[in-house]
A and B are shown apart, each in its own frame.
Chain A
Amino acid sequence: MNKLIRHTLTLLTGAEDPAVFLKVPKKMGPLKVLTERQLIQMESEIGKTLFGEIPKGHRREFFNLDPKTWIWHEEYFDANKQPHSITTKYEVQDKGILKVQDGARYSYIEGTELENFGLAVQIYYERAAREVYQRDPNTGYKLS
């Protein structure tokens, strides 16, 4: 290190070896760069817990794909060890929440199903905001 710089840093920091102030602690490590897929997976870890206990041998995902699409996916093996999977897509449309399932089945959800879906989304949002993004779900401010 240049002598002049070292002297200046010593004056500024008061340390005999100012170089220690320039080192990044190893604990911090490099900042981890997350992909959108990873963020969605983190959200889904929350989402899959919102519908009660997952039956043994089942795999469940529930996540927000984009502002207007929510996905619920479930995989399991039946008694004959045959794999099954169900994917349900919920689309936010102007007329309501459209539920689209395999086999081109679709319908606008209402009643208790709509209530439950709205509640699940609310909990998902509040927990994801706090636990994944560290933000207050009501204001969007960073949690301190």
Chain B
Amino acid sequence: MTPNAFQKDPNTTFEHGDQLEFRPDGRTESIGSTEEGLARQAVYGSFVRNEVLGHNEVIRRAVEVRGVNIEAMRKHVLGLEPETNTTIAELPVDSAETAKASEETFDNFQYHVPSKVEDAA
């Protein structure tokens, strides 16, 4: 196997000399069960939320998403047309916390499902 060309990024936590080994012959052919997949996603989502975004930002976004959703539920009960929500668009691109639910979730009703980092990744 040829030496890995991976270069340490000064911003990563890798120690000097660490290399990522690419072993296509040794990888698994199975993606595992649904439960295993969900577990992996949970671990990944937790990493993204806490390590990349920062804990305070995670809480801030969670609060914002819940406010958006409550407003949407309120308007739905009141029979009002949901307004185009600019809050979501203002967030960073990888803000999967505020990913919009599929159109099937509600008819003409904007609802944002929290904690779906992995879905948007």
Q: Which residues of A contact B59 (CB under 8 A)?
A: 97, 114-115, 117-118
- Taking a contact as CB atoms closer than 8 A, the residue among A66, A67, A114, A140 that contacts B111 in the complex is A140
> Is B43's CB within 8 Å of the partner chain A?
no
Q: Are A39 and B90 in contact (CB under 8 A)?
A: no
Confirm or deny: A110 has a beta carbon within 8 angstroms of a beta carbon on chain B. Answer: yes
User: Nearest residue in B to A119 (C-beta to C-beta)?
Assistant: B59
Q: How far is the CA of A79 from the CA of B68 in the complex (A)?
A: 41
Within 8 A of B (CB), among A6-41: 34-36, 39-40
Q: How many inter-chain contacts with C-beta < 8 Å in the A-B complex? A: 85
Choose among B63, B64, B113 the residue with the greatest number of A CB atoms under 10 Å from its CB.
B63
With A92-B60, A97-B60 known to touch, is A129 a contact of B69 (CB < 8 Å)? yes
The A contact surface, by secondary structure, is mixed
Q: How far is the CA of A114 from the CA of B57 in the complex (A)?
A: 10
A53: CB under 8 A from chain B? Answer: no
Do A135 and B73 touch across chains, with their CB atoms under 8 A apart? yes
Cβ–Cβ contact B71 & A67, under 8 A: yes
Secondary structure at the B interface, as helix, strand, loop or mixed, is: helix
Which of A92, A125, A133 is within 8 Å of B77, CB to CB? Answer: A133
Chain B contact residues (Cβ within 8 angstroms of A): what range?
20 to 34
0 or 1 for each of B30-41: is its CB under 8 Å from A? (1 = yes): 000000000000
The interface residues of chain B lying within 8 Å CB-to-CB of A115 are: 59
- In the complex, are the beta carbons of A121 and B63 less than 8 A apart? yes
Q: Report the minimal beta-carbon distance from B27 to chain A, rounded to whole angstroms.
A: 33
- Asked if A122 CB lies within 8 Å of chain B CBs, one says yes
Q: B62 touches which one: A35, A40, A118, A132 (CB < 8 A)?
A: A118
- Residues of B with Cβ closer than 8 Å to A? 56, 59-60, 62-64, 66-71, 73-74, 76-78, 85, 87, 90, 101, 105-106, 109, 111, 113-114
The 5 residue pairs across chains A and B that have the minimum distance between CB atoms: A140-B111, A118-B59, A125-B66, A67-B67, A133-B73
